Chains A and B, each alone.
Chain A
Amino acid sequence: MRTPSIVLGKEIRCAGLTKQFDGAAVLGPLDITFIAGQTTALVGPSGCGKSTFLRLIAGLDLPSAGSVCIGSQSPKEVAKRGALSMAFQDPALLPWRTVRENIALGAKLARKSDNGVDDLIALVGLSGFETHRPAELSGGMRQRAAIARSLVSEPELLLLDEPFGSVDALTRARLNAELPPLWRKRAATTIMVTHSVDEAVLLSERIIVLSERPATVVADLSVTFDEPRTAKLIDGHEFQSRKAQVLRALGVAV
């Protein structure tokens, strides 16, 4: 049993967070505090506002009302320190850069050293494709390159928007096993949007289930298993009961 590492002053506090587009409410009001060093999964129906939520936390959009505070700083200030990174739903690779250059860009933009690039390339299974350009990769390979780019700057706050969306089941299982220790080792606060309930239960220490648009919190569950977690957990009773809880919150009959 691992004690959640509560680092005071680095938690993410969303207070009364609301977003409207052209007067139509898309999100909130949300009052959520993400505990530092924890991995939180966000699940919810498509179009409910999950990406919008992540964009507000990243400071890419401004809330219509309410606020986001990371420790004592605003998202923009955290971004300026190079302590934030995000893997988008769309991989957003630059077509004129090779895989290696695209991944190293994450370190360069955050003003960090790019020593870890080669290890990460191996980890996401892109060895041998370092000098390929994005146009020569498959959709899943592009997504893996984008994940590697988000990790290379060793961020304090990691935002993942459906990071494994178009990755095959086998690679997905491997990444599920290998990536979480990586971000936990660095005590990164991770917020991950996923459509896979299995993945949410397996990877996170907390699951927040959101309602239909405008998104509000339907359920807030903590997930504790013996560490390190392995794929064997999935067959266990505890795992299945957690999963059923999430599915019920999503309105799926179990």
Chain B
Amino acid sequence: MQIWAGFMTALVAISLWGGAAHVFSESVLVASPSGVWAFVSSNSGLLVRATLTTAQNAALGFVWGNIAAVIMAGLVTMQPRAERVVSASALVIFCLPLVATGPILRVISGPGSAPQIALAGLAVYYTTYLALLVGLRAMPRSWSDLMSVYGRGSFMTLITVRARASLPYLFAGLQIAAPAAFLGAMIGEFTGAERGLGVLTLRAMRGLDVDATWSLALISATVAVLAYALVGRIGERLVGYAPVIILSPPKPPTRRNIWPGIAEMVAAALFLLLLWQVAMDVFQLNRFFAKRPGDVVRYLAADADARLTLWVALKETMAATIPGFLSGLLLGAGLAVAVILFPKATRVVLPVAVALRSIPIITTAPLIVLALGRGATGTITVVAVMIFFPTFVACLQGLRQAPQQIIDVFHTYGAGPVRVLGAAQIPAMMPALFASAKMAVPAAILAVTTTEWLATGKGIGVLMALTSTTSNYNMLWSCIVAITLVAVVMYAAVLWAERMVLAIYASEQLT
């Protein structure tokens, strides 16, 4: 059934595409199906080799990134006090803009596939970590009581109950991670790899080869969708039971003293600064490109022009990030709600949504910007597209977790779907929405900086690209620090909003 629906959607998409290509035949924007077919058939050997290379790097990064995520989530579940420091460090590392870490990793490691694998791992570990953390906590209190009654501690609870209960969440995370790993590997290839789809894409875009760009976009999208579907299928096999229903009594919001929280944040920041300094000293990285915290401070303190350049670029970047971030979230949650209200729409909406998210942003960014212009609209759209799909999937899962008993109670009183939605389903969606919002912060920044770098030539993305080619590593590291700080502030804002809302709806997620 689903395959059939997907097939129909693809058919409709191809006819629309053919029509569009016909209408826009004068523009340099839309390749025709026949042009794509010609490119693919005359370069099939090259394309197969490139796809295999990229897929292999993505798979390696996927494995390493997810192993790291599982270890971190397990640690934090057993030692909740470690959460802030672990989460903050994980977040900051995830927020490091790939546009800048890619070139730096390349300089450090030289030729080879290490940067691609590292970037693929960096692109996935955080989403898996967050999804798993939600899953490990999504447990009715009576289950942990059961373990305590037999005197079993947090480790036994983790392996007998939590690990199994978190599987649906883990697979939701892994499913999102599969296309993300592919995207990460491609960005890694932009930084001077010899082989891979990323290399071909960059070449096609530089040469304004529309047929090639479209062909590569289609191939990457297909691989990403297949990876997504494969992980989903494995998940269905392994999970094998209806997801757990959480019925835990809401806790009244507690006015916690904020100082311990701030102290933990400061501790995490100091820990990261130390890590930065020590890592560079231990590996004896060249001071020319591997700047230390002190170098950045000295540079920014001494050079007023540099401060101004950075500030202007940052403002341009934020002007696209914030609207894109919010509209992506709104669109994702809104569509999930629409799908619940009109279940028949799922069949149409879901395949389209999968396709949209799975098309690696890199290949769509220049096309979207070409279509919508170099102004903010194009970049905002890219960000929204990037965020939309994970949000949609997570919110849909959340909505479907609404306890059936509660929905039944409403139905016995003849309540309509809208009442049920507001009273039972939206509250059940809240934890998922906030988890998506957290994941969306770094995703938005990745999308913005990449788009700026590849297409619009504005903002901090292009500043980072320029400074890495002109070897102005002081500015490059300043950009990294600035953009990371922005990400942390956005993340903190999401956390604050989450505390306000989840305190009412889903207390088991708060520790």
A residues contacting B by CB (< 8 A) are 22, 55, 58-60, 76-82, 84-86, 88, 90, 92, 94-96, 105-106, 109-110, 133, 135, 153, 159
Min CB distance, A121 to chain B, in Å? 19
In the complex, chain B residues whose CB is within 8 Å of the CB of A95? 241-242, 244
Interface CB pairs A-B, < 8 A, 26? A55-B145, A58-B148, A58-B149, A60-B148, A76-B151, A78-B151, A79-B150, A79-B151, A82-B150, A84-B150, A85-B149, A86-B146, A86-B149, A88-B142, A88-B146, A90-B142, A92-B145, A94-B143, A95-B242, A96-B164, A96-B240, A105-B160, A109-B150, A109-B152, A110-B150, A135-B241
Interface centre among A58, A59, A76, A92 (most CB of B within 10 A): A92
Q: B151–A22 contact, CB under 8 A?
A: no
Min CB distance, A152 to chain B, in Å? 11
Q: A84–B149 contact, CB under 8 A?
A: yes
B residues contacting A by CB (< 8 A) are 140, 142-143, 145-152, 156, 160-161, 164-165, 240-242, 244, 252
Interface centre among B147, B152, B156, B252 (most CB of A within 10 A): B152
Q: Which 6 A-B pairs have the closest CB atoms?
A: A79-B151, A80-B151, A92-B142, A109-B150, A86-B149, A90-B142
Which residue on A lies nearest to B150, using beta carbons? A109
In the complex, chain B residues whose CB is within 8 Å of the CB of A82? 150-151
Which residue on A lies nearest to B143, using beta carbons? A92
Q: B152–A94 contact, CB under 8 A?
A: no
In the complex, chain B residues whose CB is within 8 Å of the CB of A153? 150
Q: A85–B241 contact, CB under 8 A?
A: no
Contact of A60 among B143, B149, B240 (CB under 8 A): B149
C-alpha spacing A133/B150, complex, angstroms: 23
In the complex, chain A residues whose CB is within 8 Å of the CB of B240? 96
Q: B252–A22 contact, CB under 8 A?
A: yes
In the complex, chain B residues whose CB is within 8 Å of the CB of A77? 151
Q: B152–A59 contact, CB under 8 A?
A: no
Which residue on A lies nearest to B161, using beta carbons? A94
In the complex, chain B residues whose CB is within 8 Å of the CB of A84? 149-151
In the complex, chain B residues whose CB is within 8 Å of the CB of A133? 241
Min CB distance, A59 to chain B, in Å? 7
C-alpha spacing A76/B244, complex, angstroms: 28
Min CB distance, B312 to chain A, in Å? 51
Which residue on A lies nearest to B146, using beta carbons? A92
Q: A88–B151 contact, CB under 8 A?
A: no
> Known interface pairs A79-B150, A82-B150. Does A88 touch B145 (Cβ–Cβ under 8 Å)?
yes
C-alpha spacing A159/B146, complex, angstroms: 12
Which residue on B lies nearest to A111, using beta carbons? B150
In the complex, chain B residues whose CB is within 8 Å of the CB of A81? 151
Min CB distance, A98 to chain B, in Å? 11
C-alpha spacing A55/B144, complex, angstroms: 13
Min CB distance, A173 to chain B, in Å? 27
Min CB distance, A99 to chain B, in Å? 14
What 18 new A-B contacts, CB under 8 Å, besides A22-B252, A79-B149, A84-B150? Answer: A58-B145, A58-B149, A60-B145, A60-B149, A79-B148, A84-B151, A88-B145, A90-B140, A90-B142, A92-B142, A92-B145, A94-B143, A94-B164, A95-B242, A96-B164, A96-B241, A109-B147, A133-B241
Min CB distance, A163 to chain B, in Å? 14
Q: A92–B147 contact, CB under 8 A?
A: no
Contact of A85 among B150, B152, B165, B244 (CB under 8 A): B150
C-alpha spacing A78/B151, complex, angstroms: 8
Which residue on B lies nearest to A83, using beta carbons? B151
> Known interface pairs A88-B142, A92-B145. Does A135 touch B150 (Cβ–Cβ under 8 Å)?
no
In the complex, chain A residues whose CB is within 8 Å of the CB of B145? 55, 58, 60, 86, 88, 92
Which residue on A lies nearest to B164, using beta carbons? A96
Which residue on B lies nearest to A90, using beta carbons? B142
In the complex, chain B residues whose CB is within 8 Å of the CB of A85? 149-150
C-alpha spacing A153/B142, complex, angstroms: 18
Interface centre among B149, B152, B252 (most CB of A within 10 A): B149
